[in-house]
């Protein structure tokens, strides 16, 4: 990593821990900063804070006292999930103290180029695809996944060398806290309405995503989804060189779908049905990833081999196995309606049994109903099961049954299925009514499928 001196002997407040906060605090400490960590969780329940204290880092836990800012901090590094309306954050901004997120620190110390991926849905899948493609024929160094995908960017940046590349999944929350962050290649794979409780409006949400390109130049590449008209206007506002992808039109300066094949410029790369993960949204993800691979000189054979053997990331339309001709898919990461709609687009509804349900956030599922048309059967669970039953009824689904949870839904789905069917967990809801997170919910689904195999 670069041995920068920007933070030496400067007071820095790290606000909020979790993985990225711990990583940022340790990095700043190593760079010679006078670090104070502030986290809302009480000290006795906070092993991360206890660990940092043993390093000599000042730790304040249990609340976020505004008086902290009287200590004259030069910078605040904020956990992305903490809103800007937080009194401590708002006060720091009013005092003109820079409020950064940990990806800015990662960029400042990174010796290698960065590929940055953002968008509403499909970020993790696209990031993973790109990482695999860039490592397929690599002669030196390696592509390292980082960011919102689960590996703190500032930790990865410390390990990366000049021959490497950081492939970073970036949320709107993270991008709001940058100043100099500058990827060599950036992707905005799609833009839908999301996180309005945090951003306040769709306009503010898009503006946060758009920050990914603000420091880019004509020598950099910005990859945009040409299926969305919004991209046309955005393309006029960037200094970066724009490369489009589309499944709806032929864009000969980019990547596109034509006659069932994915093309880059005028070269056919791979048949859409040969991609190892189902769904029109995954065709879009693959097109975006192909552009990055081709910009790096990856061969068509390597791209075909990689994408055909890619069976998804955990909990995102992940192939979970086949039993007696029934294929199981784990899409537990579909914690909202849009994500489930996109997953449903990848299946023959007449041979699909959908498992859905979870935390009730007060919304109904009327907008999901059109995407449920012709689904063979639906099994619902959790707090939203009655609302989902109503949506299934509006969609005309003949077989709708309720059950206790994911574990009981799997054998029930199997009993309703026949050879050639697909059984899809795509909940359209958060998991917190029954499970600590979507990962645990997905793991329970995978375990239940394994139990079926044993019987």
Whether the Cβ atoms of residue 303 and residue 293 lie closer than 8 Å to each other: yes
Report the distance separating Cα 24 and Cα 15, nearest Å. 10
Q: CB 269: neighbour CB atoms within 10 A?
A: 21
Strands 165-169 and 143-147: what pairing?
Answer: parallel
For 318-454, the fitting CATH number among 1.20.120.1200, 3.40.50.970, 2.30.38.10, 3.90.190.20 is 3.90.190.20
What digits encode the pLDDT tens for the residues 271-315?
Answer: 999 999 888 889 999 999 999 999 999 999 999 999 999 988 889
Say if 110-308 and 318-454 have the same CATH topology.
Answer: no
In this prediction, the residues of the chain whose per-residue pLDDT falls under 70 are: 455
Whether the Cβ atoms of residue 388 and residue 359 lie closer than 8 Å to each other: no
Give residue limits of the domains in the chain: 11-100, 110-308, 318-454
- Domain 110-308 falls under CATH 3.30.565.10: no
Strands 399-402 and 377-381: what pairing?
Answer: parallel
Q: CB 450: neighbour CB atoms within 10 A?
A: 14
For 11-100, the fitting CATH number among 3.40.50.720, 3.20.20.60, 3.40.50.2000, 3.20.20.70 is 3.40.50.720
Whether the Cβ atoms of residue 315 and residue 333 lie closer than 8 Å to each other: yes
Q: Tokens in use for 30? A: 């190593």
* Per-residue confidence (pLDDT) for residue 455, from 0 to 100: 67
* Per-residue confidence (pLDDT) for residue 280, from 0 to 100: 87
What digits encode the pLDDT tens for the residues 387-408?
Answer: 999 999 999 999 999 999 999 9
Phi, psi angles (nearest 5°) of residue 428: 65, 15
* Per-residue confidence (pLDDT) for residue 121, from 0 to 100: 87
* Per-residue confidence (pLDDT) for residue 165, from 0 to 100: 98
Q: Tokens in use for 391? A: 């949506």
- β-sheet with 58-61: strand ranges across: 58-61, 34-39, 11-15, 75-78, 99-100
Instruction: Using the CB atoms, write b or e for 136-167: b if 16+ within 10 Å.
Output: bebeeeebbbbbbbebbbbbbbbebeeebbbb
Q: CB 196: neighbour CB atoms within 10 A?
A: 11
Beta bridge partners of 169: 117, 147
């Amino acid at each position: 990593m670069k041995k920068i001196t920007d933070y030496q002997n400067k007071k820095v407040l790290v606000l909020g821990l979790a993985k990225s906060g711990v990583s940022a605090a340790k990095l700043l400490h190593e760079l010679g900063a006078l670090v104070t960590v502030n986290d809302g969780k009480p000290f006795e329940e906070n092993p991360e804070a206890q660990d940092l204290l043993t390093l000599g880092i000042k730790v304040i836990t249990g609340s976020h006292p505004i008086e902290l800012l009287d200590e004259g901090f030069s910078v605040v590094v904020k956990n992305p999930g903490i809103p800007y309306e937080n009194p401590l954050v708002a006060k720091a901004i009013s005092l003109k103290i820079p409020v950064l997120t940990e990806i800015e620190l990662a960029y400042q110390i990174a010796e290698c180029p960065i590929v940055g991926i953002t968008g509403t849905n499909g970020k993790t899948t696209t990031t993973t695809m790109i990482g695999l493609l860039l490592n397929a024929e690599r002669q030196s160094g390696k592509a390292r996944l980082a960011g919102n995908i689960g590996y703190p960017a500032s930790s990865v940046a410390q390990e990366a060398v000049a021959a490497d590349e950081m492939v970073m999944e970036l949320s709107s929350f993270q991008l709001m806290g940058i100043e100099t962050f500058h990827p060599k290649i950036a992707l905005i794979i799609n833009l839908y309405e999301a996180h309005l409780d945090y951003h306040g409006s769709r306009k503010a949400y898009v503006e946060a995503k758009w920050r990914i390109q603000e420091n880019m130049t004509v020598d950099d590449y910005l990859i945009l989804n040409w299926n969305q008209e919004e991209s046309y206007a955005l393309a006029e506002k960037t200094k970066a060189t724009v490369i489009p992808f589309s499944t709806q039109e032929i864009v000969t300066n980019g990547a596109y779908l034509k006659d069932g094949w994915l093309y880059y410029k005028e070269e056919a790369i791979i048949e859409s049905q040969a991609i190892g993960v189902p769904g029109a949204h995954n065709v879009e993800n693959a097109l975006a990833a192909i552009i990055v691979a081709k910009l790096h000189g990856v061969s068509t054979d390597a791209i075909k081999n990689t994408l055909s053997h890619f069976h998804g990331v955990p909990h995102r339309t992940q192939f979970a196995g086949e039993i007696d001709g029934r294929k199981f898919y784990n899409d537990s990461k579909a914690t909202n309606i849009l994500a489930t709609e996109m997953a449903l687009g990848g299946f023959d509804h007449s041979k699909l049994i959908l498992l859905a349900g979870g935390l009730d956030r007060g919304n109904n599922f009327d907008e999901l109903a059109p995407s449920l048309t012709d689904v063979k059967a639906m099994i619902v669970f959790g707090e939203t099961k009655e609302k989902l039953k109503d949506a299934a009824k509006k969609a005309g689904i003949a077989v709708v049954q309720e059950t206790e949870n994911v574990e009981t839904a799997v054998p029930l789905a199997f009993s309703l299925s026949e050879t050639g069917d697909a059984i899809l967990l795509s909940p359209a809801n958060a998991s917190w009514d029954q499970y600590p997170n979507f990962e645990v919910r997905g793991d329970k689904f995978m375990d239940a499928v394994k139990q079926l195999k044993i019987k």
